[in-house]
Amino acid sequence: MFRCIFSEGQKYKNLLNGRWVASRSGTWDQIFSPTDGSLVGEIPAVSPEEAGEFLETAVQAQKAWTTIPTNERAEVLHKAADILLREKDVIAGVLMREIAKNRKSSLSEVTRTADLIHFTAEEGKRVTGESLSSGAFPGFHETKLSIVNRVPVGVVLAIAPFNYPINLAASKIAPALVAGNAVVFKPPTQGSISALYLARVFCEAGLPAGVLNVITGQGRMIGDFLASHPLVNMIAFTGSSKIGKHIASLAGMKPLLLELGGKDAALVLEDADLSLAAQHIAAGAFSFSGQRCTAVKRILVLESVADKLIEKLLPLVQKMTVGRPEDDADITPLISNEAADFVQALIGDAIQKGAKLLAGNKREKNLVYPTLLDRVTVDMRVAWEEPFGPVLPILRVKTVEEAVRITNESEYGLQASVFTENVDSAFRIGAQLDVGTVQVNGKTERGPDHFPFIGVKSSGMGTQGIRYSIEAMTRSKAIVLNFH
Ligand code: NAP
Ligand code: G3H
């Protein structure tokens, strides 16, 4: 059982300097279940006037936290990971209700996050500096020695999206903390209650007051205040390209780690193992109903194997279960009616322009059935826009060069998959693709969490991933010894 008391009935509080607090104005945002519209709970709607205190107390707390030996900081993280695992069923239950993620994926988000935190705690102990002798540079001889350490940046502002309120929060909080930073965390509004459970885990693990402050409220109300605040030393953001670019415009010279949208393509070549490709594409496109930045969002298949691929893919889509997260359905309600309207508009545009509907195009409120569209062409919106829903367009191409060209014409550059039995083709094509990561014979995906996760173009800047995030949340500090 949890020890930190963080709610009164269905009113969940913010973590400020070690205390659980409501907003001073007494204003709350209500969070409703995307599945049945029932009230999941209420969260403080903090105003910009109150938000400054979350940053000020973090600045003070960081000064002491950074002096604590890394192995002791790591111990707090290990403890948090253990508590998270202990409470996995409770927290997965909250995820199911709050963001309609199915049971299996909710549990997997929690256990994956416990692994991430343990791994981060260990990786944090291996952060080292270096020393450089001036003797290596012409004209200096051994007159100087530069001792270069990694030091924390200070206060990290962490902002997470609704689709991974636990994992994409912890992937920022844990590296920041182990490196000696304080964190002010702004969760997604839909996802805030899950995120406050994560904060409760860190609180119970013994994190000193103020080292992690969690502030809820709608991004459009408090986001600009936080992102542009001079007490924030670095911003780690995951979310849409639109908000990411907006944050970048406010951030001034603050270092940024931005993981944004995607339009990942699966390129299926003539010599691909089509059964393997179909399985990976189906799982990659439709898990969490397509609400993943790394979802396979379009297939670019060589015309000669397109029918054979569809023969294998269509049955996998048709057998997907559609329904409630609690029943572990494959396809569950989207996060909002507006999200479903957007997906429906993309499907409608494609069909109206001549795409062939193979499955789906059925909707009950925000529950959109898995939709497969063939003969999608480049004049259709779904060829380019990120649906963040269960719709998968198939574009038939005549050559590999055409597939590469269409992949690269996207404004996004997160990941791409190449399905081929020829390793030379995989590497040749992989080198030509303008994306952060190319998956060979596998679906596009972020994990495991210690791998580098990179978005180029509108998909982001900087590299996420345990060691990479620690590097991004620390900076070099040099002290030069001069010999006389
Ligand atoms: P979103 O609308 O961009 O929101 C992301 C976060 O930004 C939320 O916490 C949101 O708070 C906050 N926010 C909104 N306006 C803000 C502002 N002016 N200043 C600061 N923060 C602000 O994205 P989403 O709908 O949650 O997530 C879906 C998008 O995220 C998709 O485009 C997806 O591809 C992308 N994504 C990318 C990755 C990746 O790693 N590349 C991972 C997951 C998701 P509120 O909820 O209060 O509005
Ligand atoms: O939604 C974006 C996430 O970074 C995707 O992570 O590939 O592990 O689902 P995932």
Q: Which of 112, 446, 453, 459 to mutate to test ligand 2, by most ligand atoms within 8 A of the CB atom?
A: 446
List Cβ neighbours of 235 (8 Å cut-off, separation of 6 or more): 156, 157, 159, 227, 247, 251, 254, 255, 256, 257
State if residue 240 touches ligand 1 by the CB under 6 angstroms criterion.
Answer: yes
- Contact between 370 and 322 (Cβ < 8 Å): yes
3-state secondary structure 245-286: HHHHHHCCCCCEEEECCCCEEEEECCCCCHHHHHHHHHHHHH
Interstrand relation of 391-397 and 19-21 (parallel, antiparallel or unpaired): unpaired
Distance between terminal CA atoms of the chain? 63
Within 44-130, where are the H helices?
A: 48-65, 70-86, 88-99, 103-124
Q: What is the CATH number of domain 264-457?
A: 3.40.309.10
Q: Do domains 7-260+460-479 and 264-457 have the same CATH topology?
A: no
**Residue 294 CA, ligand 2 centroid: distance in Å:** 5
SS3 186: strand
Catalytic residue among 259, 385, 386, 445: 259
* Residue 227 Cβ contacting ligand 1 at under 6 Å: yes
pLDDT at 2: 64
- What SS3 state is found at 227? helix
Cα 188 to ligand 1 centroid, rounded to whole Å: 7
- Residue 52 near residue 228, CB atoms below 8 Å: no
Span from the CA of 446 to the centroid of ligand 2 (angstroms): 5
Distance between CA atoms of residues 412 and 388, nearest Å: 14
Q: Which two tokens stand for residue 339?
A: 């999200």
Any ligand 1 atom below 6 A from CB of 246:
yes
Q: Which residues of the chain have pLDDT under 70?
A: 1-3
3-state SS assignment for residue 152: strand
Query: What was the pLDDT predicted at 84?
Result: 98
Q: Are 274 and 302 in contact (CB under 8 A)?
A: no
Place of tokens 């898990």: 287
**Chain centroid to CA 339:** 18
| Known active-site residue 259 | yes
Q: What pTM did the predictor assign?
A: 0.97
By C-alpha distance, which of 210, 226, 219, 224 is closest to 15? 210
Ligand 2 atom at minimum distance from 447 CA: 8
> Hey, where are the domains in the chain?
7-260+460-479, 264-457
Residue 262 near residue 356 (C-beta atoms within 8 A): no
Helix H or strand E segment including 404: helix 400-408
Cβ-proximal residues to 335 (8 Å cutoff; 6+ apart), any chain: 34, 99, 100, 162, 163, 190, 291, 366
- CA-closest residue to ligand 2 atom 2: 293
Q: Which residues contact 448 (CB under 8 A, 6 or more apart)?
A: none
The answer to whether 205 and 223 have CB atoms below 8 angstroms apart is no
Ligand 2 pocket test target in 163, 167, 280, 449 with most atoms within 8 Å of CB: 163
* Residue 130 known to be catalytic: no
Ligand closest to Cα of 240 equals: 1
With the most atoms of ligand 1 within 8 angstroms of its CB, the residue from 240, 257, 259 to mutate is 240
Tell me which amino acid residue 337 is.
N
Question: From the CA of 156, how far away is ligand 2's center (Å)?
Answer: 21
- Token pair for 77: 């993280």
Ligand lying closest to the C-alpha of residue 160: 1
Residue 5 pLDDT: 82
Tell which residue, 217, 194, 167, has the closest CA to residue 41: 194
Q: Does the beta carbon of 189 sit less than 6 angstroms from any atom of ligand 1?
A: yes
Considering the candidates 203, 204, 293, 385, report the single residue annotated as catalytic. Answer: 293
* Tokens found for residue 346: 């993309």
Q: Quote the ligand 2 centre to 292 CA distance (angstroms).
A: 5
393 exposure class (CB count in 10 Å sphere: 0-12, 13-18, 19+) = buried
Q: Whose CA is nearest to atom 37 of ligand 1?
A: 260
Which is nearest to 243 in space by CA: 155, 341, 159, 163? 159
Ligand 1 contact via 152 beta carbon (within 6 Å): no
d(CA 367, CA 331): 8
Burial class, 237, CB count within 10 angstroms (exposed 0-12 / middle 13-18 / buried 19+): buried
The sign one gets for the Cα dihedral 404, 406, 409, 414 is: negative
Question: CB burial class (10 A; 0-12, 13-18, 19+) of residue 483?
Answer: exposed
Task: Give distance in angstroms: CA of 68 to centre of ligand 2.
Answer: 33
CATH architecture of the domain with range 7-260+460-479 = 3-Layer(aba) Sandwich (3.40)
Write out residues with Cβ below 6 Å of ligand 2.
163-164, 292-294, 445-447
- Separation CA 460–CA 437 (nearest Å): 12
Beta bridge partners of residue 440, listed in sequence order = 418
CA of 461 to the centre of ligand 1 (A): 15
Q: In terms of residues, how long is the chain?
A: 484
SS3 content of the chain, % helix, strand, coil (to 5): 40, 25, 35
